Amino acid sequence: MDPTTAAGYGIVLTLVGGIVLGYGMRELRPVYHILTNDPIPVKDLVYHDGPAEVEGTTAPTEEEKRVTAPFSDVDCLACEYKAQELRSNGKSNYWKTLDEGATAAPFLVEDRTGSVRVDPAGATLKFAQQEVKVPGGEEPPETIAQYIRQTDEVEPQHDETVDIVVTELNVGNDQRFIERRLDINESVYVYGDVERAPPGEWGATLVDAILTRGPSDILIISDTSERGTAWRLAKGPLVWAVGGLAMVGPGIGLLGYWLLASLA
C-alpha cells in the first residue's frame, strides 16, 4: 500500500476508533463506581451525601402508588415494555418496534436497618426480561389482546385469513412482547445521589434521606445484585470499547508504516 494512502486510512481509523472507544469508556464509568464501592446500610444514609449504593427489598410508599405492566397486567413499581413485529425487507427478517415505553412510581427500599424512599425519575432501569412470542395467525393471551385493542400502533395478527378453497388459513406477522418490571417485595439494588427527605416524609423506620438522580447524574435501579447490575450495564459499552480498540490498533499501525516509509 502506498504510504500516503496508508496514512490517510490510519488517520481515519484512529480518529473514528478514538471516538468510539471514548464513548464506550464514558459509558463504563458507572460500572467502575459500582465495582469500587460497596452498598451501605440504609440507616447510614442519614450521614451520607453524594452517590451511594443500597440493597434491600422493595415496598410501596405510604401513598401506595403503583404502575401496571401492560402485557402481564401486574401491579408493580417500575416497568419497561416493548412491542415488536417480525417484518421482512425482501432479503432478511427483522423485528420492528411498534410501541415502547417506561414508567415508574416512587418506592421504598427496606433492609434490616430501615427504609429509604427512591425517586425513580430519570433512572436507568435494569430488570430481568420477560418475553411472550405470538406466532402470526394465533391469538395472544388476553392481557396482551387487551393491550393491542387499546394501542393504535399495534394491530392484531390473528384475525386475517386467506381462502385456499379447501380451507382458510390464519395469516399474520409474528409478534413479541417484551416486559421488564420491578415487583413489590422483590430484591433491589439502587445507586444514586443521597438528598435529605422533605419535611414529613421521614420518621420511624423511614430515614431522613431520598435516593434520586442528583448532581452525579446517575440513578440506577436493578433487580439483581451489585455485580449482576455492573455486568448488565457493561455489556453494551464493552462492545463499543472493543470496537474502538479494533480500529485504533490498525490505525496506529498504518501511521507507523507511513512514518517508517517517510524516514527511509
The 10s digit of each residue's pLDDT in 151-162 is 888 888 655 544
Query: What cell does 103 get?
Result: 414508567
pLDDT tens digits for the chain (264 residues)? 777 888 888 889 999 989 999 988 888 888 888 888 899 999 999 988 889 999 999 999 888 889 999 999 999 999 999 999 998 888 889 999 999 999 999 999 999 999 999 999 999 999 999 999 999 888 889 999 999 999 888 888 655 544 444 444 456 788 999 999 999 999 999 999 999 887 655 567 889 899 999 898 999 999 999 989 999 889 888 899 999 899 998 888 888 877 887 876
**Alpha carbon separation from 89 to 69, 92, 96, 97, 98 (Å, rounded):** 32, 6, 11, 15, 16
Q: How many CB atoms lie within 10 A of CB 88?
A: 9
Comparing CA positions, the residue from 208, 246, 210, 18 lying closest to residue 118 is 210
Give dist(CA 217, CA 199) in Å, integer.
Answer: 24
Residue 128: the pLDDT is 94
In this structure, the dihedral spanned by the alpha carbons of residues 224, 227, 233 and 235, taken in order and rounded to 10 degrees, is -110
Residue 215 φ/ψ region, left for φ over 0, alpha for ψ in the -120 to 50 degree band, beta for the rest: alpha
Give dist(CA 146, CA 149) in Å, integer.
Answer: 5
Amino acid at 206: L
Give dist(CA 165, CA 188) in Å, integer.
Answer: 57
The 10s digit of each residue's pLDDT in 192-213 is 999 988 765 556 788 989 999 9
